[in-house]
Structure 1
Amino acid sequence: MYNKSKWSHTTFEHPARFETLAMEPEKKEEIINDLVKFKKGKEYYAKVGKAWKRGYLVYGPPGTGKSTMISAIANFMNYDVYDLQLTIVKDNYELKRLLIETSSKSIIVIDDIDCSLDFTGQRMKKKEKGHNDEEKDILFKKSEEDEDKDEEEEINKRKDHNFTTNFVDKLDPALIRRGRMDMHIEMSYCSYQVFKMLAKNYLDVESHDDLFPIIEKLLGETNMTPADVAENLMPKTIIEDVETCVKNLIQSLEISKKKEKEDAKKKTEKAQLKADKDKQQLAQEDEKVEEATEIFEEKVEEASEKYEEDFLII
């Protein structure tokens, strides 16, 4: 954790592992293969002239396992983890010094990047002020006049840069382009496949002929995060058995489904009320226009009649 101008140290002891991570096997395998390729890629990166670093953007709704994913990566790679809070870094020089102080085998985490800085807003302000719109790397904004090659090499040595966000759409596209965020990892709501992994991890059960089909149906009809599913599956007392825990999950899913329907109904009703109000307002405006048109036509007719009378008198 970064504090003022120094890194403070704490022992990293998170049990997350890819073996127990709640994620579709295909997506998990893709991530693992990418990490292995990076870990063994020193010669390849040197050959193609690229810094030996890898950027990962981990995004998704709260409770979908973004922090757990980073912990699993750290344990898999056996790397140190640095939690960097950009909001308290004074300037680019201080950021650069902080990165130099990290170990060669490290994971630099910037959590909730959408909350740390308004990148899009800053770029737009630069455009408005007439500044050059060249892209700046958020971690390595370089000055050609005083660039220190040794420092840059130290910064880029065998490191993962992990960004997390709940709202990927808020991020400046220049920040998340390939080369900065090389791999985008979406953490989504719980699927039936992920539920079965959680059931195996928490209850040591792989199937239930009566209850699992109900859960499969409900997960297809409502959204629930893996964290919430896991919380429902975890026994609260020593007397709760597998069936009780699974039924607890079913009850929670049914409540979630009901709430989503109610919220959707309220949203529809609100939209309908707005549409009716807009329609009524439009009708009133049309009525006013019609009244104004009639008044105008009457005035024109009166003026025309008066003109004819004046003409006859002359």
Structure 2
Amino acid sequence: MDIEKKKMIIDDLVTFSKAGEFYARIGRAWKRGYLLYGPPGTGKSTMIAAMANLLGYDLYDLELTAVKDNTELRKLLIETSSKSIIVIEDIDCSLDLTGQRRKKNVKKEEEEEKDLREKKSGIMEERDGKSSNVTLSGLLNFIDGLWSACGGERLIVFTTNYVEKLDPALIRKGRMDMHIELSYCGFEAFKMLAKNYLNIESHDLFGTICELLKEVEITPADVAEHLMPKTASGDAEIYLKSLIQALQLAKEEARRKSVEEAKKL
């Protein structure tokens, strides 16, 4: 994540945490919604942990597939503490909360998408012989109305790898106030990882890595894996060269796929 975006997010969080009088004056619940989206491995879960550490808030990871119905959802959410972050990860495959209003003649497509969601998230847990009956309307009702019954400040965070699958009603402003895209690793993000993992701020190989990152899509998680020291006295250059090799292989693979696709045209 670039420095400006990071600063913007920090400023927004800190401003929210100090805005109790403002929310009381305008008569709104003291809450804010964040939507984090992007490919797997781009740091969504890491960002949530950083948000909790920054504010000192309690963190609740809500698994919707384990919630029996809207009534139980309401009970669980009201019982969360003040100064908390309520997280629903991978909301696109937690439940059938997507709202692409499709026509009946695409039933087969819907079934295929359902199969894909179930493969990604596992078979939905059953409780008392019934699967989860939490609905989109039940979740929306909480976001819109039940906040006022909770008291204290709360953040709600949704994450998804496929933002285009979500119902626009779920992520509109006023529900998800901040939409934050977490994308593939750029050079600024790499430098931060190099500082954290290798304790270096510059190196002769940085230029090569910078050029490769302009051409290759690689997640911060994959970059971190190559920079992770394997020994206590590991040489930073070894890990940088490992990353360069991985980037070069990825570049070559992307080029090969591009050639194959061109042949099909």
Q: TM above 0.5, one fold?
A: yes
Measured at CA, do residues 263 and 142 of structure 1 come closer, stay the same or move farther in structure 2, by a change above 3 Å?
A: closer
Say whether residues 1:261 and 2:262 are aligned partners: no
Task: Map 1:145-184; keep pairs closer than 5 Å.
Answer: 153-155=148-150, 157-184=152-179
Task: Structure 1: give runs of 5+ residues left out of the alignment.
Answer: 1-22, 126-134, 273-314
Task: Map 1:261-300; keep pairs closer than 5 Å.
Answer: 261-270=255-264, 272=265
- Check the 8 A contact 2:209/2:244 in 1, yes or no: yes
Q: Which residue identity lines up with residue 140 of structure 1 in the other structure?
A: N
| Structure of higher RCO (CA pairs closer than 8 Å, 6+ residues apart) | 2
Task: Give the secondary-structure state (helix, strand or coil) at the position aligned to 1:47.
Answer: helix
Pairwise CA distance, 1:98: 0.5
Separation of aligned partners in 2, 1:252 and 1:142: 43
Runs (4 or more) in structure 1 with deviation over 4 Å come to 121-125
Cα RMSD (Å): 2.2
Measured at CA, do residues 156 and 110 of structure 1 come closer, stay the same or move farther in structure 2, by a change above 3 Å?
A: farther
Task: Give the secondary-structure state (helix, strand or coil) at the position aligned to 1:119.
Answer: coil
Separation of aligned partners in 1, 2:165 and 2:254: 25
Give the counterpart of 2:3 among 25, 45, 63: 25
Q: Which residue of 1 aligns with 2:18?
A: 40
Separation of aligned partners in 1, 2:156 and 2:80: 12
Task: Give the secondary-structure state (helix, strand or coil) at the position aligned to 2:171.
Answer: coil
Q: Which residue of 2 aligns with 1:193?
A: 188
Task: Structure 2: give runs of 5+ residues left out of the alignment.
Answer: 104-135
Separation of aligned partners in 2, 1:122 and 1:220: 34
Q: Which has the larger radius of gyration?
A: 1
Separation of aligned partners in 2, 1:97 and 1:189: 38
Give the counterpart of 2:70 among 65, 88, 92: 92
Give the counterpart of 1:71 among 49, 54, 59: 49
Measured at CA, do residues 64 and 248 of structure 1 come closer, stay the same or move farther in structure 2, by a change above 3 Å?
A: same
Instruction: Name the count of aligned residue pairs.
Output: 233
Measured at CA, do residues 30 and 121 of structure 1 come closer, stay the same or move farther in structure 2, by a change above 3 Å?
A: closer
Q: Which residue identity lines up with residue 226 of structure 1 in the other structure?
A: P
| Identical pairs, percent | 60
Pairwise CA distance, 1:57: 0.3
Pairwise CA distance, 1:155: 2.6
- Check the 8 A contact 2:37/2:160 in 1, yes or no: yes
Q: Which residue of 2 aligns with 1:109?
A: 87
Separation of aligned partners in 1, 2:138 and 2:95: 14
Task: Map 1:100-249; keep pairs closer than 5 Å.
Answer: 100-121=78-99, 136=137, 138-141=139-142, 153-155=148-150, 157-209=152-204, 211-238=205-232, 240-249=234-243
Task: Give the secondary-structure state (helix, strand or coil) at the position aligned to 1:175.
Answer: helix
Q: Which residue of 1 aligns with 2:118?
A: none
- Check the 8 A contact 2:100/2:166 in 1, yes or no: no
Separation of aligned partners in 1, 2:246 and 2:102: 44
Measured at CA, do residues 256 and 142 of structure 1 come closer, stay the same or move farther in structure 2, by a change above 3 Å?
A: closer
